[in-house]
Amino acid sequence: GAGVSQSPSNKVTEKGKDVELRCDPISGHTALYWYRQSLGQGLEFLIYFQGNSAPDKSGLPSDRFSAERTGGSVSTLTIQRTQQEDSAVYLCASSLGLKGGNYGYTFGSGTRLTVV
């Protein structure tokens, strides 16, 4: 697509429920990143996919968080048993990300998650 697409744009869920957030990167971008931005805070790295390599999950805050990327394209971030502290804007970005390359990020508009 022309840009990075995220859905839903807003999600309100009850504490304890599972949620799935979707990211559709720019066509041809091999790298995909998930970040989280809590109210008034900076961007927190969550997970990074590069091509067919094993993802870098070093930023996932707990085992309730997981992500997958199917066919090297669309990614889904899943949060199980949501807690109120999970409330944040979840941002996805993609890049050409070739090893040794110098390509920047393009971000989607984000999913605003509210856990009540």
Partner 1 sequence: KQEVTQIPAALSVPEGENLVLNCSFTDSAIYNLQWFRQDPGKGLTSLLLIQSSQREQTSGRLNASLDKSSGRSTLYIAASQPGDSATYLCAVPTSGTYKYIFGTGTRLKVLA
Can you give the binding site for partner 1, defined by CB under 8 A?
Answer: 6, 31, 33, 35, 41-43, 45, 48, 50, 56, 59, 91, 93, 95, 97, 101-110, 112
Q: Which is nearer to partner 1, 17 or 51 (CB)?
A: 51
Q: Measured on CA atoms in the order 80, 25, 87, 41, is the torsion positive or negative?
A: positive
For the bound state, the minimum distance from the C-beta of residue 93 to partner 1, rounded and expressed in Å, comes to 8
Q: Which is nearer to partner 1, 48 or 65 (CB)?
A: 48
For the bound state, the minimum distance from the C-beta of residue 16 to partner 1, rounded and expressed in Å, comes to 27
Q: Which is nearer to partner 1, 15 or 98 (CB)?
A: 98
Half-sphere exposure of 83 (CA within 13 A, CB side): 7
* Distances 71 to 17, 27, 100, 108 between C-alpha atoms, Å: 27, 12, 23, 19
Angle of CA points 64, 67, 72, to nearest 5° = 175
Q: Which is nearer to partner 1, 33 or 65 (CB)?
A: 33
